[in-house]
Structure 1
């Protein structure tokens, strides 16, 4: 069996004296889309922030391609191949769309490759090319989300961490963004770890999923099995549909 591209072992994270993650475990294999479901405060975003290096674990391991990554600084994790599109988009409002995208490539020096990645981001989200000289702060919420994902992709990651990409967006925009994520995964084999409140959309997109409750992983299965699970239906899917 091949080594997972991303693996978490017995991970603990604290905010002061409050433990947010209680020894969780998770694996993501090359080319998979894996989603983490859970209520607000379950620890989903904390998990992603620990993986990307924005939070320091108080115990446990994060392994990337079989090697320890939890001791590697955040900017070095980007170089390793881990990029995050954060909750709330966090675009630089006073910079243009193109400038925001180029910031995503800050660890890269391959000019031809960067130009190729930029062209690809524009193909994936055509509206970004139309708005390339527009200030990011003047974009709609959906356009800012596309920009945040495009910026993360500019790092040419091996694993893309997506934190609540559908938050606050209209259903049509959610559909477009999820279609783009699927296209990236299918055409490039990019591995995706997705945190998403819209459980139904996430499970339709993902291959596998985990369910978190108050800092613990309580369930893991294929997306199909989770959709069919009565407990998941009741808690996250609004009953059977």
Structure 2
């Protein structure tokens, strides 16, 4: 479904990604792990067109997308949930969701998707007239995911969905991600909570300073002593 080949991304003279290769098959949850500064968020922003590669390619369902503007990539079926949620705080929950469907021309489909989102996150239906800025952190994360789903993505990019949330909320968010995937949406998950991410994912990639250093099944990565020491131990 998605292929990154020899992808190089630079910020000015600083090279953030040093020629990474990555593949995502339809129906998978693929986790991207790594320390802060490893290039995880840059990878997602490259896929969604928010940063342009210096070289290399990104191919989605057989079509190169690395030269396309971000809104065209959304129209093709890729949506991103950004780190930090970035909801529009002065707009209501319903208005935030409508903004997620800005590329859609099918209002009936939008209504069905909104109802599905409300079934995934019932609290959003209760708070649909409430300003997003007054929601709790967990509710804002639910809204950010719902806003991305309003674009009817076939590929959903999630950047640190558990950041700053309480354990019970994290568990609920991850269960919902599994449900979204079961509905037919492929997921790429960037997540500091490596154990939870690998328990959810089918496969994983490990980035270090802009390079892929490990790629394996999630089960194998969970059992890998190096991964356990670096990301799953008490000191991680």
User: Secondary structure of the residue that 1:56 maps to in structure 2?
Assistant: coil
The answer to whether the aligner puts 1:56 opposite 2:52 as a matched pair is yes
CA distance in 2, matches of 1:114, 1:154: 7
Q: Aligned residue pairs: how many?
A: 234
Instruction: State yes or no: 1:47 paired with 2:27.
Output: no
Q: CA RMSD in A?
A: 0.6
Measure the CA separation in 2 of the matches of 1:102 and 1:123.
Answer: 17
- Quick check: 1:151 aligned with 2:150? no
Unpaired runs of at least 5, structure 2: none
Please, which runs of 5 or more residues in structure 1 have no aligned partner? none
Q: What's 1:199 paired with?
A: 194
SS of residue paired to 1:30: coil
SS in 1 for 2:152: coil
Task: Give the equivalent residue in structure 2 for 1:138.
Answer: 134
In 1, distance between residues paired with 2:29 and 2:110? 25
Aligned to 2:23, what secondary structure does the other structure show? strand
Q: Counterpart of 1:14? A: 10
Displacement of 1:141: 0.4
Work out the CA distance in 2 between the residues paired with 1:33 and 1:175.
16
Is 1:74 aligned with 2:75?
no
Quote the residue 1:237 is aligned against: 232
Runs of 4+ in 1 over 3 A off after TM superposition: none
Residue 95 of structure 1 pairs with residue 91 of structure 2: yes
Return the TM-score normalized by structure 1. 0.96
Alignment-derived partner of residue 114 in structure 1: 110
- SS of 2:74's equivalent in the other structure is helix
- Alignment partner, residue 176 of structure 2: 180
- The answer to whether 1:166 aligns with 2:166 is no
**Counterpart-to-counterpart distance in 1, 2:100 and 2:14:** 33
Q: Distance in 2 between matches of 1:127 and 1:238?
A: 34
Task: Note the C-alpha offset of 1:178.
Answer: 0.3
